[in-house]
Amino acid sequence: MNKLVFFLTLFLLQVYCDAREGANVMCLQELKTGMCFGYFPRYGYDPSIKQCKKFVYGGCHGNQNNFATLEECEKTCTGLN
């Protein structure tokens, strides 16, 4: 039984670390307005100031560092680097 708990704990730790690594890559992408001419207020993580900040997304050719709310950005990215 102890071995099962040990391996389950290791597995869950690996899943958590993999998820954080994916978030880290996403949050370190540049804030990208994109090439289209829409006006969508969004939030992205700026690693130079270690905070999420508001930017305007044009609607296409963006990246994953693009969140609908400040809360979503902070939940995903704050404390990663």
Predicted TM-score (pTM) above 0.85: no
CATH code of residue 49: 4.10.410.10
| Inter-CA distances, 68 with 22, 27, 52, 74, 76, Å | 19, 14, 12, 11, 12
58 phi and psi angles, rounded to 5 deg? -80, -15
CA distance linking residue 34 with residue 56, whole number of Å = 9
Q: In terms of pLDDT, which residue wins out, 76 or 2?
A: 76
Which percentage of the chain shows pLDDT scores above 90?
64
Burial (CB < 10 A; 0-12, 13-18, 19+), residue 38, is exposed
Q: How many domains does the chain have?
A: 1
Segments forming the whole domain that contains residue 64: 2-77
pLDDT tens, residue by residue, 35-60? 999 999 999 999 999 999 999 999 99
